[in-house]
Amino acid sequence: MMRFFAVPAALIAVMSGAASPAHPSAAPIARALNGVACPRATSCWAVGTQISSGGTRALIEHWNGSKWSLKASPSVAGAAKTFLSRVSCSAGTNCWAVGTAMLGSTKQEPIAEHWNGSKWSLTVLPEPARLAADGLVGVWCPSTTRCWAVGSAARRVGASPRPLAEHLTGKRWSVVPTRPSGSFSDLFGVFCRRDTDCWAVGAGAISGLAEHWNGRRWSIVATPSVAPGMTGVWCPGRDCFGTGTGGYPSAIAERWNGKKWSVTPLPPLPPGVTSGLTDVSCATSVNCFAVGFANNQTLIEHWRGTKWVKVKSPNRAGTTAAGLSGVFCLSSRSCWAVGASAKQKGIIPDITLAEHWNGRRWSIAATP
């Protein structure tokens, strides 16, 4: 397996298959958070993966305004592994988290978990015909009865993937055709201004991938990014911002101005630094945060209306590696970023990481 912080953290669970139902009594030996969403300041949800001696299963944590705590997460019966990648909330009593359940060495299913205000419940989502290795990485819910989830689908685990998009209308999820790019391609992030105006981003065989939903179909829009491509997307207004990893690998950021995608320069990092920006969130069109990793340490970039500025990003004391996978901004004075830290280099993360922006600085918050 590749080193955890050498690629976007949100993709690691897909690559390694790191997740499955474990025995509740088994003590966890590793936990990592992949995505976060906040319907209000006193309620945030973070999702990810936890591994124990009894197996690996989905991880859900909740912020109640004063502390983070663990919440029960259902598992797919008979699955060897399950995990959650992203979460989206249209209201305090309506959140959806998406991920993947591994049913064997060649088969995996897309899953979604729903919060109704009192508990999380699990649904195995439909799959494209004749494709047995399907998983979801991104989700966005523009209303209580509409959601989009994106990921990839393949004939079997390890085979060339194609983009996967699923749409919730009312109470039913259905597969919606997407446009592949090259011999293999997949989608990692999605954002909807409304149900008829969505952007999904990902990677093609040799370039980044951006697809737009106009209410009738998904279509590919040219993007200058190179593979691995974009993993996060957010549209604070007419503009959209996409972030990810390209080239060396190095962190990349792009901007949609209503007509085309173009690269927005990032502050230079020292030569030889491996970096990536796994997710992005905007409080306004002139106030966005992108999070990720740089040489196995956390990386946070701040969009201030005309340029990206690198801001101080704390790392947990006593750890040798750290990275951020997801970010969500409620306002210019309140953002949450989540990820994981590792005690040793070259292994999967074993400690959850949550950081909060109070309008002046980022600080680490205690997590289970």
Phi-psi bin for 314: left (phi > 0), alpha (psi -120 to 50), beta? beta
Statement: residue 1 has pLDDT above 50: no
* Buried residues in 265-288 as b, exposed as e (16+ CB within 10 A): ebeeeeeebbbbbbbbbbbeeebb
Contact assessment for residue 9 and residue 34, using Cβ atoms and an 8 Å cutoff: yes
How far is Cα of residue 308 from the mean position of the Cα atoms in its chain? 21
Query: For residue 122, which of 82, 155, 182 has the smallest C-alpha distance?
Result: 82
- Global pTM reads 0.93
- Chain mean pLDDT for the chain: 90
Cα dihedral value 308, 310, 311, 315, nearest 10: 140
Q: How much is the average pLDDT of 263-287?
A: 96
One-letter amino acid at 32 equals A
pLDDT digits (tens, 9 = 90+) for 190-202: 999 999 999 999 9
Q: Which residue has the higher pLDDT, 24 or 183?
A: 183
Sequence-distant (6+) residues with CB within 8 A of 259 are none
pLDDT at position 104 = 81
DSSP state of 344: S
Domains of the chain are 4-365 (2.130.10.10)
Query: For residue 93, which of 120, 122, 117, 64 has the smallest C-alpha distance?
Result: 117
CB atoms within 10 A of CB 365: 13
| Interatomic CA distance for residues 266 and 253, integer angstroms | 7
| Interatomic CA distance for residues 133 and 283, integer angstroms | 36
pLDDT at position 347 = 59
In this structure, what token pair is assigned to residue 311? 């801001």
pLDDT at position 318 = 87
pLDDT band at 3 (very low <50, low <70, confident <90, very high): very low
Q: What percent of the chain has pLDDT over 90?
A: 79
pLDDT at position 210 = 97
pLDDT at position 52 = 79
DSSP state of 14: H
pLDDT at position 247 = 82
pLDDT at position 17 = 34
Handedness of CA 295, 297, 298, 302 (dihedral sign): negative
Q: What Å distances lie between residue 255 and 126, 130, 241, CA to CA?
A: 33, 36, 5
Query: In this predicted structure, which of 21-35, 65-79, 267-281 has the lowest mean pLDDT?
Result: 21-35
Handedness of CA 326, 330, 331, 333 (dihedral sign): negative
| Interatomic CA distance for residues 93 and 115, integer angstroms | 6
Statement: residue 16 has pLDDT above 50: no
pLDDT at position 5 = 37
pLDDT digits (tens, 9 = 90+) for 318-362: 888 999 999 999 999 999 999 999 986 655 678 999 999 999 999
Sequence-distant (6+) residues with CB within 8 A of 197 are 213, 214, 215
pLDDT digits (tens, 9 = 90+) for 17-50: 333 333 344 567 899 999 999 999 999 999 999 9
Q: What percent of the chain has pLDDT over 70?
A: 91
pLDDT band at 77 (very low <50, low <70, confident <90, very high): confident
The 208-213 sheet, strands edge to edge: 186-194, 197-203, 208-213, 218-221
Contact assessment for residue 173 and residue 167, using Cβ atoms and an 8 Å cutoff: yes
pLDDT at position 7 = 35
In this structure, what token pair is assigned to residue 332? 């210019």
CB atoms within 10 A of CB 212: 15
Query: In this predicted structure, which of 71-75, 108-112, 239-243 has the lowest mean pLDDT?
Result: 71-75
Contact assessment for residue 144 and residue 151, using Cβ atoms and an 8 Å cutoff: no
